[in-house]
């Protein structure tokens, strides 16, 4: 049973790291685009939405604190 939990947690961590690296890549792209274009308002809105979505994903895939107590 613990092996299944470890595999699932490992997979979740891997997916979370992939999402985080993709988010970092998008943020860097937005920063580079912001310097070149005058649409910084749009870029900051997109960056905020990306950060909000990443936070929701982290909250969704977070392991409950009392999960291992039972």
* The pLDDT of residue 64: 67
Question: Would 53 be classed as within a structural domain?
Answer: yes
Q: Is residue 19 part of a domain?
A: no
With the CA atoms of 60, 10, 26 and 58 taken in that order, what torsion angle do they form, in degrees rounded to the nearest 10?
A: 20
Report if residue 11 sits inside a domain.
no
Taking alpha carbons only, the member of 58, 51, 44 closest to residue 23 is 51
Residue 47 located in a structural domain: yes
Threshold 0.75, pTM exceeds: no
Distance CA 51, CA 59 (A): 12
pLDDT tens track, the chain, 70 positions:
566 778 888 888 999 999 999 888 988 887 776 665 556 677 778 888 999 999 888 888 876 666 665 5
Q: Is residue 4 part of a domain?
A: no
Domain residues for the domain of 58 are 28-62
On whether residue 70 sits in a domain, the answer given is no
Number of compact structural domains in the chain: 1
Q: Is residue 16 in a domain?
A: no
């Amino acid at each position: 049973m613990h092996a299944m939990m470890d595999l699932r947690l490992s997979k979740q961590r891997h997916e979370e790291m992939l999402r985080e690296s993709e988010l970092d890549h998008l943020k860097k792209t937005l920063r580079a685009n912001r310097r070149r274009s005058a649409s910084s308002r749009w870029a900051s809105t997109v960056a905020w939405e990306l950060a909000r979505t990443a936070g929701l994903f982290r909250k969704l895939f977070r392991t409950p604190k009392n999960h291992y107590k039972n």
